[in-house]
Structure 1
Amino acid sequence: MTTKPNATKRSTAKPSPTKQGQSSKTYVGTVSGKRQITIPAELFRALRLQAGAKVSMKVEEGKLQVEAEPLDFDALLKKHQLPPNASRDSVKEVREMRGWTEWEE
């Protein structure tokens, strides 16, 4: 009886030198029928991307280059910033979010 060798999961990343002398990796993704590109998990984590993150793409010398767009910190700040002299009751806000409108005695 012959046994099959254990299948090991291998990364598709290949080290390659960069202009600064640092090594970089080449990742292989998949293009779907809807023209969507799957970003490999290792790369997704390395770039600290999250669902809904924006990326910029350009073609240079026949190569597609994809870069993570920086977060718009000003927009995030405005979204979570309180007006001057405003106070908030975080316990009350959490209770309201959970649908707890009455205080338990």
Structure 2
Amino acid sequence: MAQGLVSGKYQLTLPVEVRKALGIKPGDRVEYVVKEGRLEIWVIRPDLSKVLDEVLAEHDFAALRAETHDDAVRYVREMRSLDD
């Protein structure tokens, strides 16, 4: 079991074994849940479909779609001269 210390500013430092076990990196978001006198920390993982939607909404792919005729796989195969 890992232990830590609460700083004067009420900050916690996660021990290295906890960070590694949970795959926590700087900038990751966590959620705190208090249950029956215990603190649970949940790592918030981004919803990849939401991230993809945001990226697609952020960029205009109209020119690429026009060039590939909405069939990027076929287009890449043609560019590489590969047969199906």
Q: Name the TM-score class by shorter chain.
A: 0.5 to 0.7
Separation in 2, partners of 1:57, 1:70: 14
5+ residue gaps, structure 2, are 65-84
5+ residue gaps, structure 1, are 1-12, 14-26, 88-105
Flag as ranges the 4+ runs of structure 1 deviating above 3 A: none
TM-score normalised to structure 1 length: 0.48
Residue 40 of structure 1 is matched in structure 2 by: 15
* Higher helix content, 1 or 2: 2
* Higher strand content, 1 or 2: 1
TM-score normalised to structure 2 length: 0.58
Is 1:71 matched up with 2:46? yes
State the structure with bigger RCO (CA 8 A, min sep 6), 1 or 2. 2
Alignment RMSD (CA, Å)? 2.0
Alignment of 1:1-105 (within 5 A): 13=1, 27-77=2-52, 78-79=54-55, 81=56, 82-86=59-63
**Aligned residues between the structures:** 61
Percent identical across equivalent pairs? 33
